[in-house]
Amino acid sequence: MKIRSKIDPRVSQHSILLCEIRGNTLVVTPSRTLLGIDRKIFHAELARTRELLRLPSIQNLVLDLSQERYFGSEMIGAFFALEKEVPETGQTFIAEPSSDLRVILEEMLVEQVMPIVENAEAKIREISGETSLDRMKRRPKTIFGSAAVLVTALVAVLAVTTNLFAPILGTEESRLLDRLAKSFDRTLDIQQDKFGPQLWGNYSKEQNELFGDKVSELGLKADRSGLEESLYQATLDVWKMSLSTTLPTEEELKKAHGSLVTSAEQISTLQGVDIKIPDLEASDTATLLNQTTAAGDFRRSRLSLRVSEK
């Protein structure tokens, strides 16, 4: 996005509340989570975004959630703060929430203030007054496009056939572990959310579908290497948590975490690729997970365990 002179140039560097001006409409794409993020940065970005909405040229607001499955109450509170800055003659829409997040938003009666729409781009084009010329200016230039495609194809072939670009692009094994780590990280997010039990139902089904076939594929392989065996165990442990209709237990989380760390160490040693695994605080985990509310304030360190490159 091109920042006009009267707009704080720091808006273009936002990492939590990404802003784009489309005609007379401000499009805000929020980051999924605030965990591990300095609250001062969040509140500074929120203040700058509110200032954008006070510009005479801005009439509407679209909050593009991009199918994210989870937002905490603080971020949802920011949505309401931004909505208050929209002129009375303008409109505010929440676009593209995931199905489980939509349930949460409806329970919070968000739709009574900000209508929910399924397609962000369609709504932006409908209300923004953006011209065809404006849209053309936003399209990436195609000069050297063919050469870029050839280079991309070459890199892809090398990435698949060798480990030459493994530290940058990853390997098949590291990409699987990265997906498992992100799934585990999201599980921890849901564990601490007050709507955790409601969120877990849909999320566990998605994870079952995502990793079920991979468990079968790895399990049926007769001569698994040490790394393949480790990945099989990690995939199995993460997948098993999705089979339950209730939030994972302390034992299940610790077992899955241990398997993920073991796989990360092996991939770092054998392939030179580092994968971040969310770190559990063992001292807090046992106490908090034994409370009667499974989705209580499950505190954990959001620092990542970075396996050192061997």
pTM over 0.85: no
Question: 278 near 188, Cβ under 8 Å?
Answer: yes
Q: What is the pLDDT of residues 109-161, one digit of tens each?
A: 888 899 999 999 999 999 998 776 666 665 554 444 555 555 555 555 555 55
Average pLDDT on 190-198 reads 87
Residue bearing the bigger pLDDT, 268 or 149 = 268
Report pLDDT for 83.
Answer: 94
Residue bearing the bigger pLDDT, 169 or 230 = 230
Residue 220: half-sphere exposure toward Cβ, Cα within 13 Å: 6
Average pLDDT on 55-81 reads 87
Of residues 107, 45, 55, the one with CA closest to residue 78: 45
pLDDT band for position 263 (50/70/90)? very high
Report pLDDT for 19.
Answer: 93
Report pLDDT for 86.
Answer: 95
Report pLDDT for 35.
Answer: 60
The superfamily (CATH) of domain 9-138 is: STAS domain (3.30.750.24)
Report pLDDT for 304.
Answer: 40
Query: For the chain, what are the domain ranges?
Result: 9-138, 170-306
- Rounded to the nearest integer, the mean pLDDT of the chain is 79
- Residue in the block written with tokens 């209508």: 115
Range with lowest mean pLDDT among 50-59, 200-209, 235-244? 200-209
Report pLDDT for 234.
Answer: 94
pLDDT band for position 167 (50/70/90)? low
Question: 184 near 192, Cβ under 8 Å?
Answer: no
Residue 170 has pLDDT above 50, yes or no: yes
